[in-house]
Structure 1
């Protein structure tokens, strides 16, 4: 049983790492649904959702740190934009974990699903890429998108890049939008995971080997696969035309939207 557990979650990490290497996002779209489906069989449903989100954020932290280093070396990051986004993600990481600790996130998941599907559709339809963000990007819309991306990450476990990258891709080349978002996702996921550790530190009925709401056995095994697979995925991404990366992003976002919508409707009994 232990060997099967290790193999299964290392494979999950390998798949997540490949997706992150290819598109810069997507590990949450594999890890989160898997944990949401499996964990209720081993622990109370209310607790399992929190552990699934927290452990997903912890695993994603590994993938985005690794990917961020690659993007920084490739100079795919806009520093000024990065600082603006990071300041928002610091706040949403703490607030989101606080909300999940005390309140159910079901209605938010339904809203998130609808918005992600909309974003995915818009990503496919947008034909032009702009390079001058200061004159083209509306600061108010940018703030709303960034706040929503941060809260969706910390409340629902869906990575910030799934929302931020399609939006930024309207103003930057895809790889630059991806690199900037990935670096900021480090802030969102690391602080989010730490917040879940803090709020869940004294939670009742936590399974053995949990660090707050983060379940360490899954975190460690998935992380091994992620570290192995990301460089492979990144090398493959350099051989793809940006439009194919963009379409892959749209597909990943739409899958996340459908999953969040179905999960939210099912859990609320609507």
Structure 2
């Protein structure tokens, strides 16, 4: 049993996590999960949660917090006309299929697998953002619809396993096809919502009835973490979106890459 001062610090840490993740959700279209997941690893370990449960609770809770943050981020980007609704109509169903696949894989995986997926993919994307030449692309436009459907499915699968909102993968995939970065970030905010809703529900189901879950848990979603992080993050997403429109695209790429690299190295150590 922890004393009140420790619980207060724990709550303040979650609130601060929400502020940072909300800002990054609006700035980079990452849904905040890339921040929430590693921080929850730390705070859950501090509360002596069983080590193999930590990755599942971190991912499930992160997906839940992405829901309100993505809504706020979408509204801010949509007001600036940086959301590609036509693309989303095609990608959306396939992203959702990918989420179902990812949640199914998570039901059979262990905690080390989820950690490895998170760290490896984050480092791969960081390398692309930091070291690929400015404006680098592999195609002058988006590929045909069958390839887009495959890409959207992969994005949904991996993102649901990582507990992220989709921007981590959506932004670089679109950028490789010569897609404007600001429009990619705005569109990614909606992809995050498509991932977060079924993903969070899936982790609730996967963890339902398990023993040794921390207090206030609904399956693998911790409600205390969800409320505190979501409540603070939703106020900072619009600020991030406004900042994104004030920065040059190259700085968005560099910020995105540095943040992912640091996060990945932290997860591996």
Superposition TM-score, scaled by structure 2 size: 0.85
Shift of 1:164: 1.3
Shift of 1:111: 5.5
Shift of 1:129: 7.2
2:64 alignment partner in structure 1? 58
Which of 127, 130, 134 is 2:134 aligned to? 127
Shift of 1:37: 2.1
2:209 alignment partner in structure 1? 202
- Structure 1 residues 153 and 115, CA, compared in 2 at 3 Å: closer, same or farther? closer
Shift of 1:175: 0.9
The answer on 1:231 being equivalent to 2:238 is yes
Shift of 1:221: 0.7
Equivalent residues of 1:16, 1:26 under 8 A apart: yes
Which of 163, 175, 186 is 1:179 aligned to? 186
Query: Superposition pairs for residues 148-187 of structure 1, below 5 Å?
Result: 148-170=154-176, 171-187=178-194
Shift of 1:196: 1.1
Runs of 4+ in 1 over 4 A off after TM superposition: 138-141
Shift of 1:99: 1.9
Report the RMSD for the aligned CA atoms in angstroms.
2.5
Equivalent residues of 1:145, 1:163 under 8 A apart: no
> Structure 1, unaligned stretches of length 5 or more?
264-270
Which of 38, 44, 57 is 1:39 aligned to? 44
- Structure 1 residues 80 and 232, CA, compared in 2 at 3 Å: closer, same or farther? closer
- Structure 1 residues 216 and 121, CA, compared in 2 at 3 Å: closer, same or farther? same
Secondary structure of the residue aligned to 2:52 is helix
Shift of 1:259: 4.3
| Structure 1: distance between partners of 2:43 and 2:21 | 17
Equivalent residues of 2:55, 2:114 under 8 A apart: no
Superposition TM-score, scaled by structure 1 size: 0.85
